[in-house]
Structures are given as C-alpha cells and as structure tokens.
Structure 1
C-alpha cells in the first residue's frame, strides 16, 4: 500500500484577488489531468487569503484539490472583531487551517499558548491543523530534531488539554530557511522529520497525522527526500502553476520511495486521515 505524498501551497499575501483566481484556475487545469492526483499518488491543498477562500473553492470545484485558511481564531464565536472562526471556515468548506507559522509568531507575537489554542480550535471544528514548527537558528540536524520535537510536545500537550487531539499535518519549517535562497539539506530535513514522525506515531490519538517540509521548498527537492517526509509545504516557488505541476511529476518519481515505508506506519497514517 502506498501512502500519498502531501503537497500544500500557501499563497500568503503575495497575490491580489484577480491573480489568485487566475492561479487557482490554472492549478485546477493541472489537477484535472495530472496522473499523480488521479491515481492517489499525491494529495494537494491550497491556502489562499481569507477573501479568496470561497472563489478559490469555486475555481477548484470538480478537482481533488482541498482548500484551507492561513489562520483562524482561538474562539468559535463572539465579540472578536476582525477574526475568522474555525466554525465559519468549516461551514464554507475549508478542510485545513494553518497555525503557528513563524511569521505569525514574529510579526504578531503569537506564542505557544495561542498556537496551541488555535490548534485545538481547528480540531474541534473538524479542520486539519497545518501545525508549523521549526528551530529559530541553524543547528546540527540532531539538535534541530530535539528542539523541534520539544516544541511539538509543548503544543500538543496544551492543545490536548483544551480538547481532544486528532490528525494534524505538521509542517517542519526551520525559521532560518524561510525565504532563504535554498532549503535545508535533505539529511537535515529527514533527520528532523523522522523525529517528528516518531513522536506522532507514539500517540494513537494522532493517527493519520503527516509530516511535511517547508522553508524555501520547491521543485527539485522532493525526490531528494526519503520516506520519513510525507511531502512539501510550498510557498513562493509554487506561484507559477507550472511549478506545482513539476512537483506533482516528482510525486510520481518518488512513489517507490514512499512505498518503502514500514507497513505499520503506512497503516497508522491511513487509518485516521481526514484531509
């Protein structure tokens, strides 16, 4: 049994409304015909900005591409001016909600307590959290794995105390690699993602979780990674729909690598997938 390679794309705030819809229609054209999506080799989700969520869903209708939000509120309803709740996101058809990105932490002061509360909010509303973790400064792979796993432990412990846990998509994004010319090395990525996977598979409540890599990820990286990484979380390198198609091509090239994952891990991932 082969578990799908997961590809996510965050558009951040790079594209305006018209360009976002042009991008979505172009990606829809790719998704309707690409064999990696047709045969389940790959899964693809996209995270546009809030005003584009519904029109992007319309543009992607009839394709297997899922849509999610780049953020959500810690609360589900009430006097929270400017916020968007997980309940509203679920109601309009979102499947994912990104939480804990380094930019939210750095620019808006979101700490572990807020990130954990948003993770809990996503889960209780039936959304898959795209939970971003990653060390701030460059470190040896083993050190980075220790720091990042400790971060994940803190977030999941707090989120679990606020409600039940469920499948999450952990996006490993070392902060020093975000916006850099090149991603972390394949050895570094695999070492950290292996540690994160071990943490996730140890908790039955998290069955169905995946680990993807972000941080200057783009075409050419996926085939260099082993089975410890479930896929990529793409940013600016996916603004050209042809790059999305190129990474989907790499999913086909990588199929044999993913199939080599131990069968018990594959079963655990498949058993709880909701995305």
Structure 2
C-alpha cells in the first residue's frame, strides 16, 4: 500500500529584486536607504501587509556585506547572486557560501539563465551550489525555465524544467526551504511577460512534480521575467511571489509591487 505524500508546509508569499551589475556601490547604499525610508513612512495598514510576506534584495557581491548591515534589524533578507559549491579551498575568484552566511546572507540565487548562457553552468552545477547554500543555512533560490516557447501548450516547458528541478531537489535535504524562480528564458528582458494563463499552468504542473510533492520543507515558486505591477494578481493561483529586475530598481516601484503581492 503506497503512502500518501506529507502535507505541504505553509508557504509565505515572497517578493524580491536583483540589482545584477547595474548599480555602483554608492547607488546601492542610496537605494537601500530610500527603500527603508519609504517603508518606515508607510501607514499602519501597509505595515501589517508587509509583515505577511518575505522581502529580499540581492545586490552584487562587493556591496553584499554593507547591504546586510543596512538591513540589520529589519525583516528584509539579503541575498547573493551566486556562490561556489565548496566552503573553502584553493578556488581563486570564487565566493564561499560559508563566508556569505557569516556576513548575513540569507538567500543565494543560482542557475540564472545568464550564468548558464555566459558561463556554461549546468543543472549539476546549480544542484551542487544549492546543496552548499542549504548546508550553510541559506535558502537556495534556483532559476529555472525553458529556452524557447515551442508551442501554445505547456508540455514542452514543463519537460524542459523538470530535470532542472529534480537535480536541485535531489541535492538538498528534504526539509530545507527552497525557492524556484520560474523565468522563461524567452521572456527575460522582453517588453511583456509570459501570458498569465501560461505561467499559472506551468507552475501548477511544476508544483505537482513528485520531487516537489514529496518534500518536507517548503518549496516556493516565484515568477520572474519582465515582472512588474499588476502581474501578481493574475499569477497568484500558480506562484508565491515575484522575482523582479530593472523595474524594481526604483525603490518606490519596488515598494508598490511589494504591497500588491501582499494584498492580492
């Protein structure tokens, strides 16, 4: 007699932004200051909404430690744009996940389409790095997505994403929190995001994969790829939040989207 999968753990909504390599150190500092000022000036009702979701900011490696210091005492999570799969050793130029955790990093973004395209990273690389992040008490945020939109169905997209998901989840403990950022590669930087019905259909099927259903820890799914205001309301039946890019490089627009995700 087969056992039923364990009940899914509760999933908090989550929204965040990566600055990639767009900001100078001075701009990063000012961005955090301005965002914190906006949040501190928010109404009590808005503050209540903010307490109901997780917010993260992923700056460049150089400013990560200072951002973590700026965000100390807040609930906003500091993230890193990548990490190596070993904690220490003769790996010149790489970034230790142990050191990231030491300076206050809480989330590590891995497997982004740009890393895969420019640096030829594989599913196996993302899995090893995810294991390292989890081993050091951080949450792996793994980017997944199909390279091209083959047809009007979601079958091809799910099948291309399946090995990306399976590799990562096989590498991390079952009780570790994991975030999957679904970013169709063909939608990154596009004028319009992927259609809402398409995204919801894909993410629902990804959530129903056996490797996801059998996990003890929370597996949250974000949508990224030309994400902006008004989008989450259309996607909330399939995803737990948004992973924002250049749109959210304006603190006021980022805050606006945070409130939309919280209130939807």
Conserved? CA contact 1:218–1:247, under 8 Å? yes
* Pair 223,164 (structure 1): closer, same or farther in 2 beyond 3 Å: closer
Deviation at 1:63, TM superposition (A): 2.1
SS across alignment from 1:8: strand
SS across alignment from 1:145: helix
- What pairs up with 1:197-208 in 2 under 5 angstroms? 197-199=207-209, 201-205=212-216, 207-208=217-218
How far apart are the structure 1 equivalents of 2:47 and 2:138?
A: 21
**Partner residue, 1:248:** 258
Residue in structure 2 matching 1:14, options 22, 25, 31: 22
Tell whether 2:75 aligns with 1:67. no
Unaligned runs of 5+ in 1: 255-275
Alignment length (residue pairs): 250
- TM-score normalised by structure 2 residue count: 0.88
* Pair 218,247 (structure 1): closer, same or farther in 2 beyond 3 Å: same
**Partner residue, 1:27:** 35
**Partner residue, 1:45:** 56
- TM-score normalised by structure 1 residue count: 0.85
Deviation at 1:36, TM superposition (A): 5.0
Residue in structure 1 matching 2:168, options 116, 132, 155: 155
Tell whether 2:124 aligns with 1:113. yes
Deviation at 1:3, TM superposition (A): 4.8
Tell whether 2:185 aligns with 1:172. no
SS across alignment from 1:179: coil
* Pair 151,23 (structure 1): closer, same or farther in 2 beyond 3 Å: same
**Partner residue, 2:7:** none
Conserved? CA contact 2:68–2:103, under 8 Å? no
Conserved? CA contact 1:36–1:248, under 8 Å? no
**Partner residue, 2:5:** none
> Which has the larger share of helix?
1
Deviation at 1:165, TM superposition (A): 6.2
Q: Deviations over 1:38-69 (max 9, x none)?
A: 44322100100011112112222332211010
* Pair 228,44 (structure 1): closer, same or farther in 2 beyond 3 Å: same
Residue in structure 2 matching 1:128, options 129, 135, 139: 139
RMSD across aligned C-alpha pairs, in angstroms? 2.0
* Pair 208,36 (structure 1): closer, same or farther in 2 beyond 3 Å: farther
Conserved? CA contact 2:82–2:109, under 8 Å? yes
